[in-house]
Every structure is written in C-alpha cells, then in structure tokens.
C-alpha cells in the first residue's frame, strides 16, 4: 500500500461508518464510505481501492454476498477485507465473510489502519504466490500438451510401421511358402533372413510402443504430474462385469466347440476401473479359448477369497478371486512367471497368433489395482488366478464431499483446505443427484450435517462400504 491509499468502509446505512472513517483519516488514509450492496463491486474494483472495511454492526449475513463477490472477482480477490465487528455480534457468524482480519468496533483508527496494512502485505505475498502458481500451472499444461502430442504421433508412427512390416512379412511368407513359384535353396535362406529381420523389427517396435505407453498413458495426477494409477475407480458389481464380458465370447466358444462355464458368487463388488477390469477378463478368456482344444472347457470363477486369520496390515484386506481355468496344454512350471512379461511367448506357441501382450496387460492392470496375478499349480490345463482387493481407492487424492447448501460454508472449507496445502474440497449442493455422482468419484467422504440442509436420501452413503459412522443418517 502507498501513502495515497484509498480505503472504503462499507456500512449498513448512510453515515453509519463516519466515526470510523474519521479515525482512519487522522491516520493519513483517504477514506470513502458506502452502503452495503453487492452491486457496488464494479465501483470498488474500478476505483483503485486498496482495502475494504466491512462495518458489521449487527447483521453479518447482509455482507455475505458482497464478501463473496470480492473474493471471486480476480480484480479484488487479493484486496484486504477487514471485518469491523460491533460488540454482541457472534464471531462465528462473521467467519462466514472469510475476512482477512477481524477488528472490534472499539479499535482506534491507528489500530485499524495497522491491521489494514498488515493484511495488505500478506495479500501482496498471496498475490505473488498465486501468480507463481499460475505460471507453473501454465508451463506444466504446455509441457503436458506437448507430451500428449508426441505420444499421439509416436503411436501413429508405430501403427503405420506395423502395417508396413505386415506387407513385408506377407510377401516374404508367400515366397517362403512358394505361393508364387518354387525357390532355390539360397533364395529360401534369403527369405528366412528377411522374415527374421522383420520379426526383430517388430520386437523393437514393441519396445518403443511400451516406452511410449509408460510415458504418456498414465493419467495426470494432482498438480499435473503423471503416475501409474488407474484413471478412475468406481464401485462395480463384479459378477455383472465378469458375466457380461465372458458373454462376448459365446460365439467364439461355440465355433471352437469349447464349453464356457461360469461360477459366479453374485453380489461381489470392488472399487475398480471397470473398463480396465473388463480388459483383464477379456485377455484371460481369449487366452484360455485360444489354447483349449475342441471339446474342452473354460471355467471362469469369481468368489471372495477365503478368510486368512494370519494375515495382517495390507495383506488383511478383503479380496476377490477371479480364476480362469482351461483344459488346454497348460503352462510349464518353469514358464509360470515369464508368461506375464511383455512380449514373451512360449516356444511351442510361436506358430499361433498372438503378440505376447495379453497376460502382461493383465499383470499391469491388476498391479494398478494393488492386486496380484499368478499361474496356479493344476492337474489339468492352465489356471490363472487374479486377486483383487475390494477397496483400494487411492488416499493420495483425498477429496472432501461437503454436503451443505450454504455457499459460504463451502467457501470456508475450501479456504481451510487451500491453507493446509491439502486438496481443494469439491463444491456440491445437497441435491441427491450431486451427492450420488460425487460418491462415485470421492476417495473420502465427509458429511457436514446442517440443520438447514434439505433432507436427502442418504441410502447410497450409508450403504457404501467403509462409510464413516458420522455420515449415517445425516441430514
């Protein structure tokens, strides 16, 4: 603030703030007074005001709209706003205004001016910090956009390179198989070299694509960084998910004369990314169908993991078992770990279609969900077991679901969180749809019961596994 600082005192009536104004003028400030009206915001912002004093003599609620407008308008958001409170006005009601400082009406002009200057300095710091944060966010957004563009171009190039490799492989294989005429022995060797080199090139492409995926596919974490966490987790009915996905292969199974048996415990749910979990089921079932001979059987089992009384800590989490068994040739014991590696295929399977990616993708997705995937010991065929925790939502991106219809309360909670360096709370009103929608995305739920909140159906909250007791029956 400068020597030429201009303060505006907003009072509840004409002339009510003159006493206060006089004290401030004696301290050397230019002071104007006006009557509270949210529409005055444009006037306040345009007049080069350095600070606003809300002269709260009786009824803080009359200032809520103006205080909110000051905070939300970028021209006034960093202005010091001092609440000058008359005796008898409850401080908890003044807090609704989220002022920069609170002074009593008995404070002298000099004290009030000192408060204005102190908060003004803090406001300048906050403004500079906010500017730096905006600048960083802009740079991060630009970098992220560039990374996405590089990823898109890299994927397109990998795709086109695969298509070109396909043409080379196609013609070379036609020569090898003498589709267009017989080959001399030496020509046969040359064709084999072409096929081998193309195979190596495809392996290289696979490594390249894997690196691109690892760099660009992870969803942005809070603050714009990237992590390997699932894009989203919602509460899924696993029985429906597994049944619906396996059903996609009815035609394939019928054509191969393979029976598909479902053994599903209905009612099992888990917090997971449903699309990714469908991919897990798809890859396991495609794998099983591929290796099961005609007349064979693929059995898909979904059930809760048996109780483990000795387990503790993370190991004690409730998990579900997804097991896919087949009656194919099985997986040799020495290969049971390597089949989950990207690009690895068993020697005996090299003549069959496939890229060696299916089970690697299963392992990656299951790992993202803090689960495990393994090949089980079995007397017949192969048995792949996926263990998936039912509730492993991330605690890093904590979100607060505030059920309150008072806009002022939401702003206060938001301010508290920002001051903490914690995540900003989500702003929701108490309409049922908003709450249910928010529940699907929230990692943690805090319900703030308020007498004034309209009654909502809290079924989804109280039914939610792990819901805090305080939320039950909230209004």
Among 75, 134, 141, 159, binds other proteins (CB under 8 A): 159
Beta bridge partners of 324: 300, 384
Closest separation between CB of residue 345 and other proteins, Å? 13
Give the integer Cα–Cα distance in Å for 475 and 463: 15
Closest CA to 435 of 412, 463, 414, 416: 463
Among 30, 122, 162, 398, binds other proteins (CB under 8 A): 162
Verify binding: residue 179, other proteins, rule CB under 8 A. yes
Site string for other proteins, 251-270 (x = CB under 8 A): xx--xxx-------------
3-state class (DSSP) for residue 278: helix
Binding of other proteins by 292 (CB under 8 A): no
Instruction: Say how far apart CA 36 and CA 55 lie, in whole Å.
Output: 9
- Residue 365, interface with other proteins (CB under 8 A)? yes
- Residue 100 tokens, joined: 């920069």
> Which one among 165, 259, 406, 444 touches other proteins, defined by CB under 8 A?
165
* 3-state SS, residue 344: coil
Q: Does 312 bind other proteins (CB under 8 A)?
A: no
Question: What tokens appear for 110 in the block?
Answer: 């000099």
Residue 357 engages other proteins in binding (rule: CB under 8 A) = yes
**Cβ–Cβ under 8 Å, residues 256 and 294:** yes
- Long-range (24+ apart) CB contacts under 8 A made by 430-433 are 430/403, 430/404, 430/405, 430/454, 430/456, 431/456, 432/456, 432/457
Note whether 211 binds other proteins by CB under 8 A: no
Total residues at interface with other proteins (CB under 8 A): 43
286: contact with other proteins by CB under 8 A? yes
Q: Which of the 8 DSSP states describes residue 394?
A: -
CB of 472 to other proteins, least distance (A): 38
Smallest separation, CB 247 to other proteins (Å): 10
Task: Please state the closest distance from residue 281 (CB atom) to other proteins, in A.
Answer: 9
Q: Does 182 bind other proteins (CB under 8 A)?
A: no
Torsion of CA 85, 89, 94, 100, to 10 degrees: 20
Provide the 3-class DSSP secondary structure of residue 452: coil
Among 147, 168, 409, 443, binds other proteins (CB under 8 A): 168
Write the interaction track for other proteins spanning residues 102-141; mark x where CB under 8 A is met and - where it is not: ----------------------------------------
CA distances from 276 to 37, 218, 241, 378, 436 (A): 53, 13, 11, 27, 23
Question: Of the listed pieces 116-124, 229-237, 271-279, 332-340, which binds other proteins according to CB under 8 A?
Answer: 271-279
Q: Could you list the residues that contact other proteins (CB under 8 A)? A: 158-160, 162-163, 165-171, 173-174, 177, 179-180, 198, 202, 206, 209, 213, 248-249, 251-252, 255-257, 275, 278-279, 282-283, 286, 351-353, 355, 357-358, 361, 365
């Amino acid at each position: 603030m400068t020597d030429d600082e201009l303060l505006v005192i907003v009072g509840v009536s004409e002339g009510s703030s003159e006493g206060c104004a006089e004290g401030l003028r004696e301290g050397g400030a230019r002071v104007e007074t006006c009557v509270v009206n949210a529409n005055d915001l444009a006037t306040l912002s345009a007049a080069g005001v350095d600070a606003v004093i809300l002269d709260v003599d009786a009824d803080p609620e009359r200032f809520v709209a103006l205080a909110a407008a000051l905070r939300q308008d970028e021209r006034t958001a960093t202005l010091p706003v001092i609440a000058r409170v008359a005796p008898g006005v409850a401080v908890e009601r003044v807090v609704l205004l989220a002022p920069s400082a609170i002074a009593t009406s008995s404070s002298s002009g000099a004290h009030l001016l000192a408060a204005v200057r102190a908060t003004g300095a803090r406001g300048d710091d906050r403004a500079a910090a906010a500017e730096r944060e905006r600048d960083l966010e802009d740079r991060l957004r630009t970098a992220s956009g560039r990374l996405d563009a590089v990823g898109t171009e890299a994927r397109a190039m990998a795709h086109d390179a695969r298509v070109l490799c396909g043409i080379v492989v196609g013609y070379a294989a036609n020569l090898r198989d003498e589709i267009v005429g017989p080959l001399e022995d030496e020509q046969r060797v040359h064709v084999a070299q072409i096929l081998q080199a193309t195979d190596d090139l495809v392996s290289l492409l696979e490594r390249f694509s894997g690196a691109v995926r690892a760099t660009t596919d992870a969803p942005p974490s809070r603050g714009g960084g990237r992590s390997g966490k699932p894009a989203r987790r919602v509460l899924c009915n696993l029985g429906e998910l597994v049944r619906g996905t396996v059903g996609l292969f009815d035609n394939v199974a019928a054509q191969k004369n393979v029976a598909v048996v479902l053994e599903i415990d209905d009612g099992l749910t888990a917090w997971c990314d449903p699309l990714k979990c469908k991919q897990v089921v798809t890859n396991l079932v495609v794998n099983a169908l591929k290796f099961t001979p005609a007349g064979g059987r693929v059995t898909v089992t979904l059930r809760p993991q048996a109780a483990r009384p000795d387990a503790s800590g993370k190991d004690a989490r409730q998990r579900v078992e997804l097991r896919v068994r087949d009656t194919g040739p099985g997986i040799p014991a020495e290969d049971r770990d390597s089949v989950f590696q990207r690009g690895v295929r068993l020697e005996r399977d090299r003549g069959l279609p496939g890229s060696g990616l299916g089970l690697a993708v299963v392992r990656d997705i299951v790992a993202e969900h803090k689960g495990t995937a393994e090949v089980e010991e079995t007397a017949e065929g192969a048995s792949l077991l996926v263990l998936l925790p039912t509730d492993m939502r991330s605690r890093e991106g904590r979100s607060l679901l505030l059920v309150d219809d008072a806009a002022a309360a939401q702003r206060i909670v938001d301010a508290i969180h920002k001051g903490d360096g914690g995540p900003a709370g989500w702003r929701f009103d108490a309409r049922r749809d908003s709450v249910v929608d928010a529940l699907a995305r929230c990692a943690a739920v805090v319900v703030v019961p308020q007498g004034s909140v309209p009654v909502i159906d809290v079924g989804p909250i109280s039914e939610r596994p792990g819901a805090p007791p305080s939320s039950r029956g909230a209004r």
